[in-house]
């Protein structure tokens, strides 16, 4: 299950995107996913691509945009996922199991307006 997905677009900054149409799997009861995100990525805040399993059953994954998209400043677009119950142990696993589930949705929004 994809709990959270955080990324940025061509012209818009880093934000959490819903997984699927209208879903908000990773949203806490108060609607703020930041606590879950910070817990999953603790100790890996500034790293490049990677896949990290946490002791609480969460897996944090950071991967570069598989389509090679870059923002207006030329920076590689990162995608960060918090997963639970997925058989994902590497970035390659995430590319095979997670990316296909969000790729079309991202293609629709990445070139959108800033807000």
Q: Is residue 67 part of a domain?
A: yes
Angstrom distance (rounded) from CA 64 to CA 54? 21
Q: Is residue 80 part of a domain?
A: yes
What domain range includes position 65? 13-110
pLDDT at 23: 43
Q: Is residue 35 part of a domain?
A: yes
Q: Is residue 7 part of a domain?
A: no
Q: Is residue 6 part of a domain?
A: no
Q: Is residue 38 part of a domain?
A: yes
Q: Is residue 3 part of a domain?
A: no
The number of distinct structural domains making up the chain is: 1
**Model confidence band, residue 93 (pLDDT cutoffs 50, 70, 90):** very high
**Model confidence band, residue 22 (pLDDT cutoffs 50, 70, 90):** very low
**Model confidence band, residue 18 (pLDDT cutoffs 50, 70, 90):** confident
The arithmetic mean of pLDDT across residues 11-35, rounded, is 72
Segment 72-85, tens digit of pLDDT = 999 999 999 999 99
pLDDT at 115: 64
The arithmetic mean of pLDDT across residues 58-75, rounded, is 96
pLDDT at 55: 79
Contacts of 12 (CB under 8 A, 6+ apart): 112, 113, 114, 115
**Model confidence band, residue 49 (pLDDT cutoffs 50, 70, 90):** very high
Angstrom distance (rounded) from CA 32 to CA 36? 9
Cβ-based neighbour number of residue 28 at 10 Å: 11
Q: Is residue 85 part of a domain?
A: yes
């Amino acid at each position: 299950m994809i709990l959270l997905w955080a990324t940025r677009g061509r012209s818009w900054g880093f934000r959490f995107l819903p997984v699927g149409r209208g879903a908000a799997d990773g949203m806490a009861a108060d609607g703020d996913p930041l606590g879950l995100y910070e817990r999953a990525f603790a100790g890996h805040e500034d790293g490049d691509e990677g896949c990290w399993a946490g002791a609480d059953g969460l897996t944090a994954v950071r991967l570069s945009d598989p389509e090679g998209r870059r923002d207006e400043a030329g920076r590689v677009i990162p995608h960060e996922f918090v997963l639970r119950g997925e058989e994902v142990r590497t970035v390659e696993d995430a590319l095979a199991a997670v990316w296909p589930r969000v790729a079309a949705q991202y293609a629709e929004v990445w070139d959108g307006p800033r807000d």
